[in-house]
Homo-oligomer: A and B are copies of this chain.
């Protein structure tokens, strides 16, 4: 492991590409190895025990590439199984989207009322509220699970009236709770950011955990002298456990560019 080693990033599926995109923008000279567990996606509606098993598998796959750090791009894993990831890669740093998003939200809120939206598993774990209150116990956290946002994003219902109606259904109550900051606690949600913002109305800052984790990664690599000295722009190395027909369309949706080479790995 050295400065030229890759940054390992994993997610339950393709949603974590929002993190890849943010890392590329912040750190264009870093090599990235990304694993998406597309054969077992989604993790959000599954149990803690299953999510912890999958997190260990995903970490083991990335460790084959001797990364200099691991980013858990999956909020569900960040919420329920970050210690499993840390245990599976002993000596290298691990960053989860959750703590990075929580930290940025705490910096941004003025009225100490933060909303968090995520999958059923993330919201039920209460992990965002815990992470936020570790930083500032006076902050009130209001959470809302939005389970249909992932399939809507994956089906490309981006500006569709159905998505608007689903957003109304999920966000009507949280909108009345006086929050000034909302964390998008799932890597798919930035795809639906526009409809979420329109539904919330003005005056609420949106925290995209992907951007928050990219800031934290730059900080950490810089502090520990692990920034890649190269001046070449690197293309991410993409691994998935399944390659369904619509994968290429989804990649385009998340990354805004055509699909690069992708390798299949067995889980």
Taking beta carbons and an 8 Å cutoff, which residues of A are in contact with B? Answer: 38-40, 45-47, 49-50, 120-121, 124, 147-148, 150-152, 154-155, 157, 160-162, 165-166, 169, 241-246
A50 to B267, CA, bound (A): 11
Partner of A165, one of B45, B46, B165: B165
Whether A245 lies near B120 (C-beta < 8 A) is yes
Residues from chain B with a CB closer than 8 A to the CB of A49 are 242
Cα–Cα distance between A267 and B152 once the two chains are bound (Å)? 28
Provide 11 A-B residue pairs closer than 8 Å at the C-beta atoms, listed in order of the A residue. Answer: A45-B154, A45-B244, A47-B243, A47-B244, A49-B242, A120-B245, A120-B246, A124-B245, A150-B151, A162-B162, A162-B169
Residues of B within 8 A of A150 (CB): 151
If over half of A's interface residues share one DSSP class (helix, strand or loop), that class is named, otherwise mixed; here it is loop
- Provide the bound-state CA to CA distance between A155 and B245, in Å: 25
User: In the complex, A39→B54 CA distance in Å?
Assistant: 10
In the complex, A228→B39 CA distance in Å? 38
Chain B nearest Cβ from A154, distance in angstroms: 7
Per a CB cutoff under 8 Å, which of B39, B155, B157, B166 touches A46? B39
Q: Closest Cβ of chain B: how far from A160's Cβ, in Å?
A: 8
Which of A121, A148, A243 has the largest count of B CB atoms less than 10 A from its CB?
A148
Alpha-carbon gap, A241 to B54, bound state (A): 13
* Chain B residues within an 8 Å CB radius of A161: 165
- Least distance between A38 CB and chain B CB atoms (Å): 7
Tell me which residues across on chain B come within 8 A of A245, comparing CB atoms.
Answer: 47, 120, 124
User: Chain B's nearest CB lies how many Å from the CB of A151?
Assistant: 4
Q: Which residue of B has the minimal Cβ distance to A166?
A: B162
* Distance in Å: Cβ of A175 to nearest Cβ of chain B: 18
Which residue of B50, B124, B152, B246 contacts A148 across the interface (Cβ within 8 Å)?
B152
Residue of A38, A151, A243, A245 ringed by the most chain B CB atoms within 10 A: A151
The 9 closest A-B pairs by CB, nearest first: A151-B151, A50-B242, A47-B244, A39-B50, A162-B165, A46-B244, A47-B242, A46-B242, A40-B40
Q: How far is the CA of A242 from the CA of B40 in the complex (A)?
A: 12
When C-beta atoms are compared, the residue in chain B nearest to A154 turns out to be B45
User: Smallest CB-CB separation from A163: which chain B residue?
Assistant: B162
Instruction: Apart from A120-B246, A165-B165, list 11 A-B contacts with CB within 8 A.
Output: A39-B46, A40-B40, A45-B244, A46-B242, A46-B244, A47-B243, A50-B241, A121-B244, A148-B152, A148-B155, A148-B162
* Pick from B38, B45, B155, B166: contact of A147, CB under 8 Å: B155
- Chain B CB within 10 Å — which of A121, A124, A161, A162 has the most? A162
